Amino acid sequence: MKLSYHGHSVVCVETLGTKLIIDPFITGNGLTDLDPDQLKVDVILLTHGHNDHVGDTVALAKKNDALVIAPFELSTYLSWQGVRTHPMHIGGSHEFDFGTVKLTQAFHGSSYTIEEEQKMVYTGMPAGLLFTAEGKTIFHAGDTALFGDMKLIGERNTIDVAFLPIGDNFTMGPEDAAIAAEWLQAKRVVPIHYNTFPVIEQDPVEFAENLSGKKGLPLKVGESIEL
């Protein structure tokens, strides 16, 4: 399994001949190295409906005939845009031919904003993602605050890599994310959701260095790891 980080909360997973992308906020993301016109993906995983996570989903899904996996309300909204979707909800899991996806809770909001209409579309509850394939499990927390059931997620799953937001203001900051890392018992921890906007500027290297057990892995944009 190959994992790569592409700015904000964008993570790519390549496994068993399938390329997945999580929260593909590309257009408008000044930190990403991806070009939506050149990107080829088979599956799109979404944690919630905010624009900086849904991002280029519709265009990518239509161009690649990619399957979109998302919480039910968000999945329904996107299906109305003409894309293939698989709806899920928190606590549920599903085994696909490329791996198993399970949604966990997250504490945040979830709505899609249509600026020109000054309209916000409700897109259900936000979620985190557990993805298992090739005997490995990754956890993408999405946008979330620290919450006690992260201990339960860590106790019930052997997490090889956890992608945790550290930006503060809208999500956990570095201190809370460090506690989350301990509770999740992840072998490696990659910081995400930082530095895209001034209000979420953080130092990912400092965050990683402050984690116990040398498990912090501050991936640079475009950098990847193999599991």
> Is residue 197 domain-resident?
yes
> Is residue 168 domain-resident?
yes
Cβ count within 10 A of residue 152: 14
Structural domains of the chain, count: 1
Q: At what angle do helices 57-64 and 72-79 cross, to 10 degrees?
A: 60
> Is residue 223 domain-resident?
no
102-105 long-range Cβ contacts below 8 angstroms, 24+ apart: 102/129, 102/130, 102/131, 102/132, 103/71, 103/127, 103/128, 103/129, 103/130, 104/128, 104/129, 104/130, 104/139, 104/153, 105/147, 105/149
Query: What's the mean pLDDT in 89-97?
Result: 98
Asked if the model's pLDDT at residue 212 lies above 90, the reply is no
pLDDT of residue 48: 98
Asked if the model's pLDDT at residue 38 lies above 90, the reply is yes
Range of the domain at 82: 2-217
Percent over 90 (pLDDT), the chain: 99
> Is residue 114 domain-resident?
yes
pLDDT of residue 114: 96
CATH number, position 202: 3.60.15.10
> Is residue 172 domain-resident?
yes
Asked if the model's pLDDT at residue 213 lies above 90, the reply is no
> Is residue 183 domain-resident?
yes
Asked if the model's pLDDT at residue 159 lies above 90, the reply is yes
Per-residue confidence band for 132, with pLDDT thresholds at 50, 70 and 90: very high
Residues paired with 130 in a beta bridge: 102, 139
Let me know: does 42 contact 101? Beta carbons within 8 Å: no
> Is residue 225 domain-resident?
no
Name the residue with tokens 């927390």. 141
pLDDT of residue 214: 85
Q: Which amino acid is at 26?
A: I
Query: What's the mean pLDDT in 24-50?
Result: 97
216 secondary structure, DSSP code: B
Query: What's the mean pLDDT in 177-191?
Result: 98
- Within 8 A by CB and 6+ apart from 156, the residues are none
> Is residue 38 domain-resident?
yes
Question: Between vectors from CA 69 to CA 27 and to CA 21, what angle results, nearest 5°?
Answer: 45
